[in-house]
């Protein structure tokens, strides 16, 4: 998938769609508010990464157009590869609108064909005019969407154990590092479209190893000790990598479902590195595993009722997971239900799960500077939920502007308001500061105390570091190249002075391609900030290293093995929750 080269082409396409169907301007405007609210085509590309859902059973619906079995198989594959990330496996909707037969049959084949072909200004990609889908595939998809969605197979303990493999038993692993690398300053870099990660030495900037992993690794999570890195691909494959080996390599692997996003390991004293957890998009569930070899121990379904309306949802996907520092617990976001689960892993045989009601649709988030409060985005409800992990309760629901997307957020001390946690947004240019110090600054706690402007919407990550005086903001999914290829940086000591723009992609000099700049990530010392310059698979990508103090180019890492780099995770900062 890729961003449209000209964002206005999609707006013109949507107008053509309107003219062909006689819908009028008002209907197009209504679609812009509802189809994919505040979401750019770039976000659809980012979320709609190909995945595989296995064999599904064909469902034929009354009133739907005829399809051959071959056509049905093609459409099923295309939907799960390109559409399920936004519209849901069961087509109930999330970032994208519901696509159930009661809606799609009323719209009809011609409407759906034009919408799929041209997209919409609200974020629906132009699958046809971009060249991603052929005319035949568009026709097949338009008919397929009018049938009941097929349910992919479940994925239970038998399937997990069959996929589980210990490549190097714990007894055969080294008892000390077998190399001279500073393990804490290693970066695990997602090579999104090649199904790999690159381990890069933060000191020398050399690539230590490139390892085959699950497709489009969503996150890398070091163990509490920093010895192991756990990666999870969007295909739900987990790889456990031993950083002490020379070169580092996988020592265990397991597949915990068909689509997934999150993995974490235990951090509470006495349980360090002992328990791993992963959350799946499909089936909707989370899994507890042995931290030493990934052997699955306990599966828990997340299907259930939503907050507020208390409607049953068959597909509540597991989003962010963090490890509590206050109790032997994992904090688990369940996206569609809006519930936050406190999973007590002290006794897996008698597992205790406490449910907190927050808001829909929960996505990503991170800790405040004290590691007591977990702040997480309910991004389609335009709220930040605050969890007091010590008292095990919802501390606050903070109203913010359209579609917050903090990543893990950023912690800093505001010159006027004291300790704050910061998020940017996909749906607007706001950079939002929330007070996080109920004891020292109670009048500002859990309130929006400052709002700055970034270059525009489409931001995925904000970042700073305790050793830095800068706040860095990407705009990866902004449709304008000059914005998506640069970053904004604020001086924390003079926030009212505005931001400076740094031309990261220009510094990378990667040649043609979208060259989107994504995810500032600090080194362990906090004096360098790294950016991915994310290009197409057949194009040159790079990692750009900037001197944090001077804001000048320090180094560019280019290598044919750096295929579509996106997320980067420094071992020290990630395992210590420093951001």
Active site residues: 83, 86-87, 124, 363, 405
CA nearest to 330, candidates 231, 273, 264:
264
How far apart are alpha carbons 35 and 17 in whole angstroms? 14
Distance, in Å, from the CA atom of 144 to the CA atom of 368, rounded to the nearest integer, reads 46
- Cα dist from 250 to 58, 174, 201, 245, 254, whole Å: 37, 13, 18, 9, 11
The answer for residues whose C-beta is within 8 angstroms of residue 391's C-beta and 6 or more apart is: none
Q: Which two tokens stand for residue 540?
A: 């040159």
Q: Is 158 exposed, middle or buried (0-12, 13-18, 19+ CB in 10 A)?
A: exposed
Q: Which residue has the tokens 């035949």?
A: 136
Contact 3, 514 (CB under 8 A): yes
Q: What is the DSSP string of 423-465?
A: E-BSSSSEEEEEE--TTT-TTTBTSEEEEEE-SSS----EE--
CB neighbour list of residue 20: distance below 8 Å, 6 or more residues apart: 114
* 287 beta partners: 278, 299
Compute CA distances 355 → 302, 311, 342, 393, whole Å.
11, 16, 6, 9
């Amino acid at each position: 998938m890729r961003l449209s080269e000209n964002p206005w082409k999609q707006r013109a396409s949507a107008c053509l769609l309107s003219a062909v169907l006689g819908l009028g301007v008002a209907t197009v405007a209504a679609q812009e508010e509802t189809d994919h609210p505040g979401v750019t085509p770039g976000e659809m590309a980012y979320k709609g990464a190909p995945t595989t859902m296995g064999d599904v059973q064909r469902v034929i619906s009354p009133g739907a157009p005829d399809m051959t079995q071959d056509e049905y198989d093609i459409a099923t594959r295309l939907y799960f590869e390109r559409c399920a990330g936004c519209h849901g496996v069961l087509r109930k909707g999330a970032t994208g609108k519901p696509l159930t037969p009661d809606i799609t049959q009323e719209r009809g084949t011609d409407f759906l064909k034009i919408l799929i072909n041209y997209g919409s200004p609200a974020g629906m990609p132009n699958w046809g005019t971009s060249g991603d889908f052929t005319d035949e595939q568009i026709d097949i998809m338009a008919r397929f969407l009018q049938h009941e969605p097929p349910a992919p197979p479940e994925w239970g303990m038998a399937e997990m154990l069959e996929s589980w493999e210990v490549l190097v038993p714990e007894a055969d692993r080294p008892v000390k590092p077998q190399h001279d690398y500073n393990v804490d300053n290693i970066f695990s870099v997602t090579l999104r479209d090649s199904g790999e990660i690159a381990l890069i030495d933060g000191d020398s900037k050399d690539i230590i190893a490139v390892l085959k992993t699950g497709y489009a690794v969503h996150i890398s999570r070091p163990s509490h000790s920093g010895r192991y890195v756990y990666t999870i691909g969007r295909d739900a494959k987990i790889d456990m990598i031993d950083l002490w080996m020379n070169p580092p390599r996988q020592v265990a692997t397991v597949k915990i479902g068909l689509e997934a996003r999150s993995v974490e390991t235990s951090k509470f004293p006495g349980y360090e590195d002992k328990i791993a957890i992963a959350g799946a998009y499909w089936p909707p569930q989370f899994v507890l595993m042995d931290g030493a070899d990934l052997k699955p121990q306990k599966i828990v379904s997340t299907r259930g009722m939503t907050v507020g309306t208390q409607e049953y949802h068959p597909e509540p996907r597991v989003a962010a997971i963090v490890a509590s520092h206050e109790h032997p617990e994992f904090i688990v976001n369940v996206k569609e239900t809006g519930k936050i689960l406190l999973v007590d892993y002290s006794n897996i045989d008698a597992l205790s799960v406490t449910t907190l009601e927050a808001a829909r649709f929960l996505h990503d988030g991170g800790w405040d500077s004290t590691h007591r409060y977990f702040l997480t985005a309910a991004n389609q409800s335009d709220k930040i939920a605050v969890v007091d992990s010590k008292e095990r309760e919802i501390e606050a629901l903070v109203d913010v502007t359209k579609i917050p997307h903090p990543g893990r957020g950023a912690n800093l001390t505001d010159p006027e308001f004291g300790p704050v946690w910061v998020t940017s947004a996909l749906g607007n240019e706001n950079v939002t500061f929330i007070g996080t110090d109920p004891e020292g600054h109670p009048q500002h706690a859990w309130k929006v105390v400052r709002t700055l402007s970034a270059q525009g919407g489409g931001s995925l990550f904000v970042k700073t570091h305790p050793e830095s005086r800068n706040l860095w903001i990407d705009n990866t999914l902004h449709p304008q190249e000059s914005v998506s290829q640069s970053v904004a940086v604020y001086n924390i000591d003079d926030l009212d002075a505005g931001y400076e723009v740094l031309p990261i992609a220009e510094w990378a000099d990667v040649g043609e391609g979208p060259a989107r700049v994504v995810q500032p990530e600090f080194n362990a010392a906090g004096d360098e900030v790294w950016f991915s310059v994310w290009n197409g698979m057949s194009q040159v990508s790079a990692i750009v290293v900037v001197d944090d103090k001077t804001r000048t180019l320090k180094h560019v890492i280019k290598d044919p093995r750096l295929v579509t780099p996106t997320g980067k995770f420094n071992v020290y900062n990630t395992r210590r929750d420093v951001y």
